[in-house]
Chains A and B, each alone.
Chain A
């Protein structure tokens, strides 16, 4: 399988504090890679480095085959990102947000219109196309933010705690969207601290104090730590 993310000896320090301490892992084409850890374990820091929002202190990182130091802008053409903080324009409508981000990625108006129709139909919000984002419920916003993040068909999409603060039903629906994205061949890199969501991932890594303590499929991890579910695995490792 093709590696879309390669991380070797990644270190990120803020002053004397080490947020990422020698991380090593690969992510393969088309998988859902779960990035778990307690608050402050260094998940978001590592993800921001992979997205080119922050530069590492040392180590080698390749995303979709490009070097994180020299080819940041090429990487940005091939990734999508959904941050913890909701980040579509609240004072623009759904259609205007799509038009703006499509414009930046160089999607032609004709292409955009076709894809927009599919998107709206998929989320069942065709009638709200001209509503301001700010007026929508949180669950809608998050589904929209995800759909916009993969609107330009990136190779990899990074999701930073995408489902925090929404109800279980919306979370379930959100994961349906994630599965659809992987069906289209998009690799999903997701951080979360909901352990039931960890079960949905193909492979998970568990971080603690800036280090990766475990990395395997949920089944193997449960076997290895003789745990009933991921919750127990996580508690055993993070303790």
Chain B
């Protein structure tokens, strides 16, 4: 058992001497939290509209003013030719073209009915949907007011109307950063754990020190555990660091228990580090390890649900995701931090992480051989 202590001591000294690694340990949390959380936002802030107003009536101008007044829209350009609008869409200069046909104001008064054309750049389907529905709601609102004005009623009311009063729970301000922060924290822990552990064993292979260890009576389980523990500590340090940034920069509310956050992180890290070590036993050089861990990271992250909801993925993809540790961990982090979920709410994730962790660690121990 004492040998574990000597391995841990050695690993910490090596990290301490490795200037690049030290810088990574400090810089990665800062970069990820401050850049990724802000950048990875779905908040719709600025939709550029190209306006083709062929009507030039007071009504059409009023609609334009109304759109411009909304925080989401900017009328970037105007023209009388819809083709110009199309060119702007192609150039990616504008996101939408609003065509107000000639006679729009007149038709609205005379026939109580008029049409508008809205062309939306839908390369990014989600942003297009969102932009369209915001625009539609501005137009609907405008419509309602116009009817009310003309009919002289205080405000137009449909004869029967169901009023929905909604409250957004757990993130009442709909602050996207609150949703992203726990997700990015999960990535942070994963990145640090996977790369550090992957690199450390293969580095011993490259330098030949592994041979020297393999002729000693050290038990391989002691060696691997001694290698794991420093990286658990470092990753937890980075998690705490990231949480502090989230707390003080984004005012992220930490509703659930921090004990649960860190407890689950330890469990998760054992699995991730096991995976890193396993990859490391298969590879001969640091480049190979980088390549393989990068491959895993890509799949894990894209399927984790950080950007897209896992519930909307096809059934088979959700099934595969059960084997994705990042998916489980991200759920845990979001549930505990944002909602205050307790352990009993997370039994499924707990069992999944236990199984995955056990599998990865066993693979690493099985694959690491002192005798070739």
B58 contacts chain A at the CB level, 8 A cutoff: no
Stretch from B126-134, B207-215, B352-360 at the A interface: B207-215
Partner of B215, one of A79, A86, A96: A79
- Does A100 lie within 8 Å of B208, measured CB to CB? no
B116: chain A residues within 8 A (beta carbon)? none
Known A100-B6, A100-B10, A106-B2; judge A88-B372 contact (CB<8 A).
Answer: no
- Does A104 lie within 8 Å of B215, measured CB to CB? no
A105 contacts chain B at the CB level, 8 A cutoff: yes
A76: chain B residues within 8 A (beta carbon)? 215-217
A55 to B214, CA, bound (A): 13
A77 contacts chain B at the CB level, 8 A cutoff: yes
B213: chain A residues within 8 A (beta carbon)? 104
B17: chain A residues within 8 A (beta carbon)? 91-92, 132
- Does B371 lie within 8 Å of A104, measured CB to CB? no
A77 to B209, CA, bound (A): 18
Closest to A134 in B: B17
Closest to B10 in A: A100
- Does A105 lie within 8 Å of B2, measured CB to CB? no
Known A53-B211, A76-B216, A87-B207; judge A92-B14 contact (CB<8 A).
Answer: yes
How many residues on A have C-beta within 8 angstroms of the other chain's C-beta atoms?
30
- Does B14 lie within 8 Å of A53, measured CB to CB? no
B166 contacts chain A at the CB level, 8 A cutoff: no
- Does B211 lie within 8 Å of A85, measured CB to CB? yes
Partner of B209, one of A52, A53, A88: A88
Interface centre among B6, B217, B372 (most CB of A within 10 A): B217
- Does B5 lie within 8 Å of A91, measured CB to CB? no
A51 contacts chain B at the CB level, 8 A cutoff: yes
A86 to B2, CA, bound (A): 26
Known A83-B208, A85-B208, A85-B211; judge A104-B13 contact (CB<8 A).
Answer: no
A39 contacts chain B at the CB level, 8 A cutoff: no
Closest to B219 in A: A73
A86 to B217, CA, bound (A): 20
- Does A103 lie within 8 Å of B212, measured CB to CB? no
A88 to B214, CA, bound (A): 13
- Does A86 lie within 8 Å of B216, measured CB to CB? no
> How distant is B163 from chain A, measured CB to nearest CB, in Å?
69
Partner of B2, one of A88, A96, A103: A103
- Does A104 lie within 8 Å of B9, measured CB to CB? no
**24 A-B residue pairings within 8 Å (CB atoms):** A52-B371, A54-B372, A55-B371, A72-B371, A76-B215, A76-B216, A76-B217, A81-B212, A81-B215, A86-B208, A87-B208, A89-B10, A90-B207, A91-B13, A92-B17, A96-B13, A100-B9, A103-B3, A103-B9, A104-B3, A104-B213, A104-B217, A104-B218, A106-B2
Chain A residues proximal to chain B, CB less than 8 Å? 51-55, 72-73, 76-77, 79-81, 83, 85-92, 96, 99-101, 103-106, 132
